[in-house]
Structure 1
């Protein structure tokens, strides 16, 4: 695989040290080109101590002080190599990603693989200024780093720059590597908290009457807003119980038309939120439903794939 080349200006650009290279959808292997090292606060403190100790050794002409100073300096330089070694060779790939609703926490999973025979200790993974996740990666093994990001609005949520760092082994050198993966999660509109009745149209079509002679009674379920009145179990209401809905094996119910025009009087996001609530309620009630948006028409259906298709249309509406 051909390695990317950089000019001197690109190599010294502050953007590269903190924002990393361009995003890629391929696995990223941490090498010398991506790993940067600086002394930590403890490292600067140790450097100051060594300078003072070296001056004292010169002033008093103490061979033991010189030996101690050089031993500590050698240990510090060796720890820098171990800090680099703790990150070098790690392979970072994308994990699974599931859609979420606006306002929820989106979960980005990163897979950190250690192909070598030596373990990696104290590897931190973080986004921005968030609290890092600390991992120990056994040899010849892969661990997951779950990164949670609040999904503020609908649409695609892109993973920001991820920083992988370590202070191993002595905490006097900070080694880090900023990486960018092409990794995104679809954010659905936030469902309306208000459960409104389903929209009714004069042209609404009924596939089959509930509880016909050809259907087998299967039991009851809880009532949901918009359920047909003819399927309510009135005897439970007469006894003061919560309303129940009779279920039949035929499963054929009224086909709902969930239309943009049925949400007039509110802004765009509120209308999408209401449509999202209707989609979820209709799917939970096992009803057939269609979705009509400006420029988008999804025919009637039901099931997980149909629900996902409708939610995706709402999430990407106008983009």
Structure 2
């Protein structure tokens, strides 16, 4: 019964919050999206205040009553200080991030403050938090000290395209009597790839490597077979410099390779040992990373999706996203 009531209240609050603080790429904290409530220490302080007031009025002790007035004034001052510590803070975030299953996915958050802010904590719900001790400067509010970059993390326990929910921004400055917070929805989309699991080539059942009709077409893309040495051009990778020729005094040359298109690697679920689907996806993730690092051209064939052979960063990201979304 208690759990049902709690779930009902949570759903209603989330519906209200969606209307009150809708999705956006940038937020400025104002009266509309800031919430404030006493902490446990604040409630304890308030309880002591009430007890002292009852004691002072019962015994008609003006000193105790005066102390209660001072404590009450301090309580209200602390509330206003806590509220204005968060008000006016501008928060931005990129809506996309990616990482691997079982890892903490970093999400970058940008903050800007026109006045000094202290003790700001950020994080996803039920995840680790990141604290920013100070931002801004009362004496000299230049653009340089107004801004700060913070990274928060999301523990990805499953692959796929996930929505981590709202980012909680809160602070207990000053004196710890009040907690001021806000729930901000940046519409984050986290692409969680399978956890890469190493597999040796000898464990692959079959790797298609023949071109249609037995063709062996030569491609000018970078590949496995050495093609020629050419004069070094600024901007080329130092890993391709022919160091032996350079040591012999033949000048600075770079190695160029070609690749037989019929020998391009084709990755698929069928080429893997008979294990679970998740483990197969982990093997494919590992192979995609290895082949991309080695600049091999490769294709990826899944149940209802086929990615043509290619290479490069964009091709790698396309293959990894296909693995993340497989079966989803």
- TM (norm. structure 1) is 0.76
Name the residue aligned to 1:285.
294
**Alpha-carbon distance in 2 for matches of 1:15, 1:142:** 35
Alignment RMSD (CA, Å)? 2.9
Q: CA deviation at 1:70?
A: 0.6
Contact 1:157/1:187 (CA < 8 Å) preserved in 2?
yes
Counterpart of 1:215 in structure 2 is: 228
Matches of 1:40 and 1:95, distance apart in 2: 32
Kept after mapping to 2: 8 A contact 1:216/1:250: no
The structure in which a higher percent of residues are helix is 2
The answer (yes or no) to whether the contact 1:17–1:178 under 8 Å persists in 2 is: no
Question: What residue number does 1:268 align with?
Answer: 277
In structure 1, what is the Cα distance between the partners aligned to 2:96 and 2:198? 25
What is the match of residue 264 of structure 2? Answer: 255
Does the 8 Å CA contact 2:33/2:182 hold for their aligned counterparts?
A: yes
Distance 1:260 1:130 in 2: 34
Aligned to 2:38: 39
Q: Does 1:173 align with 2:178?
A: yes
Alignment equivalent of 1:137, drawn from 135, 138, 146: 135
Partner secondary structure for residue 228 of structure 2 = coil
Q: Does 1:303 align with 2:303?
A: no
| Per-residue Cα deviation, 1:119-172 (whole angstroms, up to 9, x for no partner) | 111122232344432222215522223111122222112222322112111211
* 1:110-259 map, 5 Å: 110-114=109-113, 116=114, 118-135=115-132, 136-139=134-137, 141-197=146-202, 199-201=206-208, 203-204=210-211, 206-208=216-218, 214-216=227-229, 249-253=256-260, 254-259=263-268
Contact 1:25 1:183 in 2 (8 A): no
Change (3 A) 1:127 1:40: same
**Number of aligned residues:** 277
**Residue 58 (1) aligns with residue 57 (2):** yes
Residue 97 (structure 1) shift: 4.7
Q: Which runs of 5+ in 2 are unaligned?
A: 1-8, 233-238, 240-253
> How far apart, CA to CA, are the structure 2 residues paired with 1:303 and 1:207?
20
Conserved 8 A contact 2:98-2:190: yes
- CA distance in 1 between counterparts of 2:135 and 2:45 reads 29
Q: 1:74 to 1:178 in 2, by over 3 A?
A: same
Q: Distance in 2 between matches of 1:170 and 1:164?
A: 18
1:21 matched to 2:17: yes
Greater shift, 280-289 or 73-82, is seen at 280-289
Q: Deviations over 1:275-301 (max 9, x none)?
A: 222222222232221222222222221
The 1:192–1:76 alpha-carbon spacing in structure 2 relative to 1, beyond 3 Å, is same
